[in-house]
Structure 1
Amino acid sequence: MDTQFLEKRAKKVFKESPLVHCVTNEITCESMANALLYVNSKPIMADDPREFQELFSQTDALLLNLGHLSPDREKQLMAASEYANQFNTPTVIDVVGVSVSSLRKKLAFELLKNKPQVVKGNTSEMKKFCGLSSHGRGVDGHVLDQGKESLQELAEALQELVKTYPDTSFLATGAVDVIVTGDKTYLLSNGVPELDKRTGTGDMVGAIIAALLGQGETVESSLVMAVSYFNICGELAKELGGSPIGMEDFNYHLMNELSLLHEQENWWQSIKGEKTND
């Protein structure tokens, strides 16, 4: 990794307080709102299109989450996406559950037409999104989609997708996180298995990415910093909780670290990974 790039960007992230508009699922709504507050951002969980015109004149970034889909939610997501395109609001789309049904995949590609800055999902979801064979079940990623050959296949598919949608970067989260943005591909390797056992970890990562975009960070920096920051918090939570660690203790330490780690000047030095091409 480029240490000069990391140091330069890390000194600026989480210093502003962007207003992040989230159209998201009810299951993880509170966790996402708290995660945003803990990284010095302001969440607003608004899903009524009647107030979008006024709201988009104030917000700094938008997060669209496909979890808990319904006919009404689909209309809300599409309306918010269209307003974001109109107002040039940085947008993150989280394709939660795209492995579940063709309906979600179709909706995700409709949203992609409005040129979001980021489309993200777990490894299994993003393989399905790219038209590759996926072992995903429900909203969870599958370990069989996270092998070296599988990740290479996914990275190549995302690189091709960027050519079709050059305004959008893509993130696949897992034991190794794959980022494809423009002509750059990152493979990041921070994190612990316990993060997969807590509901909403991927949703919180999406929110943090939106927060960084909302404070004016580049897409590349927002992706690398948000993913790494959250995963390093997971590593510290496990370390603080001892071994073995119960999930309630892990959750407690994880949320504490989200609010504390950015106050440490050199937290970025724990980032692990590589940039595989330019």
Structure 2
Amino acid sequence: MHAVDLRAAREALREQQPLVHCLTNTVVQAFTANALLAAGAAPAMVDAPEEAGDFAAVASAVLVNVGTVNARTADAMRLAARSAGEAGTPWVLDPVAVGGLAFRTDLAAGLVALRPAVVRGNASEVLALAGTGAGGRGVDSTAGPEEAAAAAADLALRTGGVVAVSGPVDLVTDGRHTVRIGGGSALLTRTTGAGCALGALVAAYVAVTDDPLAGAVAAHAHVALAAEVAADVADGPGTFAPAWLDALDALDGASLERADVRSAA
């Protein structure tokens, strides 16, 4: 059984304020930065090839999100991932829409070979990255987390890291231990950038826990519980987004222990 101390992880994030280097898609940069700030981390959006490698070496953690990738940012992502690996900086790969488009699929396959600490995606993205699926409908998954459980475990063993699969019940595995996180709100799926922000929060938590499985679980629990709090006061997706940011900020370590986290051997 792999137990995760959610209270300790939350408190460490607040105390250490990790610097998260985000190479992420242009649609979500401000929202991702705000989510990191609300949780207690410090965001940086450095995606120039001339700077990405140097910055990845000094950041607390790195997020590589291929959502709106182009040739220039792909070079920056490769440089950042290599530099992070050499420096011992944990980095997270978010394979947005991998499987349906050849350029990003090839890029993501190359990045997987650089051994990210965590791969975080939806079920269709994880299946495609593992070589057992064709991808989803754009950024939307056409499969559920349990359908990707075996592929996620195999991919985690291949990278030596953790694979997190988002869905109604999130699944996080290192290939040997699997943890499921329930709760959340359907309004997350109607909020542009919520999943991308989750990837950045995974990076932040991994930086302060020194344990990719614990960090990924804590991030998913934080996001899910904040979504429940926000959904209780929101009238719809327009009011949900700022309420979610407020909840990310308000939840402390004791609050996070209420999250629906189910561990399995």
**Number of the residue aligned with 1:155:** 149
Spell out, residue by residue over 1:103-149, the C-alpha distance to the aligned partner (whole angstroms, 9 max, x if none): 3222112011212101111122112222334672001123xx12xxx
- Pair 1:165 & 2:155 matched: no
Q: Does 1:235 align with 2:228?
A: yes
Residue by residue over 1:57-108, the C-alpha shift from the partner in whole angstroms, topping out at 9 and shown as x without a partner, is 4311100000112111211111111111121111001001113213322211
Q: Is the 8 A contact 2:66 2:95 kept in 1?
A: yes
After superposition, the Cα gap between the structure-2 partners of 1:267 and 1:75, relative to the gap in structure 1 and judged at 3 Å, is same
Structure 1 14/123 Cα, relative in aligned 2: closer, same or farther at 3 Å?
Answer: farther
Q: Is the 8 A contact 1:99 1:139 kept in 2?
A: no
Partner of 2:92 in structure 1?
92
Give ranges in structure 1 of 5+ residues lacking alignment.
Answer: none
> Deviation above 6 Å: which 4+ runs of structure 1?
1-4
Alpha-carbon shift at residue 2 of structure 1 (Å): 7.3
Give matches, 1:196-215, under 5 Å: 196-215=189-208
Alpha-carbon deviations, 1:204-256, whole Å to 9, x = none? 11111111122244111111110010111110001123xxx221111121111
The residue number in structure 2 matching 1:78 is 78
Map of 1:261 onto structure 2: 251
Distance 1:52 1:238, change over 3 A: closer
Cα distance change, pair 93–109 in 1 and its aligned pair in 2 (3 A): same
Matched ranges for 1:19-34 at <5 A: 19-34=19-34
Alpha-carbon distance between aligned partners in 2 of 1:54 and 1:99, rounded to the nearest angstrom: 30
Rounded to whole Å, the distance in 2 between the matches of 1:186 and 1:30 is 30
Counterpart AA for 1:174: G
Whole-angstrom CA distance in 2 between matches of 1:157 and 1:246: 35
1:189–1:272: 8 Å Cα contact kept in structure 2?
A: yes
After superposition, what is the alpha-carbon deviation per residue over 1:172-198, rounded to whole angstroms, capped at 9, x for unaligned? 101111111141011211211110001
Instruction: For 1:35-184, list aligned pairs within 5 A.
Output: 35-133=35-133, 136-142=136-142, 145-146=143-144, 151-166=145-160, 168-184=161-177
CA positional deviation for 1:27: 0.5
Task: Tell me, yes or no, if the aligned pair for 1:186 and 1:275 is still in contact at 8 Å.
Answer: yes
Is the 1:28–1:200 Cα contact (8 Å) retained in structure 2? yes
Cα separation, 2, equivalents of 1:43 and 1:80: 15
Is the CA contact 1:99–1:137 (under 8 Å) kept in the aligned structure 2? no
User: SS of the counterpart of 1:215?
Assistant: helix
1:226 aligned residue: 219
1:274 maps to a residue whose letter is R
| Aligned-pair Cα RMSD in Å | 2.0
Is the contact made by 1:99 and 1:138 (CA closer than 8 Å) also made in structure 2?
no
Aligned length: 265
Please say which structure displays the higher CA radius of gyration. 1
For 1:113, the aligned partner's letter is A
Cα distance in 2 for partners of 1:18, 1:9 equals 12
Pair 1:4–1:39, CA change in 2 (3 A): closer
The verdict on how the C-alpha distance between 1:235 and 1:88 changes in structure 2, with shifts beyond 3 A counting, is: same
TM-score (norm 2): 0.92
State yes or no: 1:246 paired with 2:240: no
SS at 1:62 equivalent: strand
Contact (CA 8 Å) 2:63, 2:200: kept in 1 or not? yes
Distance 2:168 2:133 in 1: 18
Measured in 1, the distance between the counterparts of 2:16 and 2:258 equals 22
Rounded to whole Å, the distance in 2 between the matches of 1:14 and 1:272 is 21
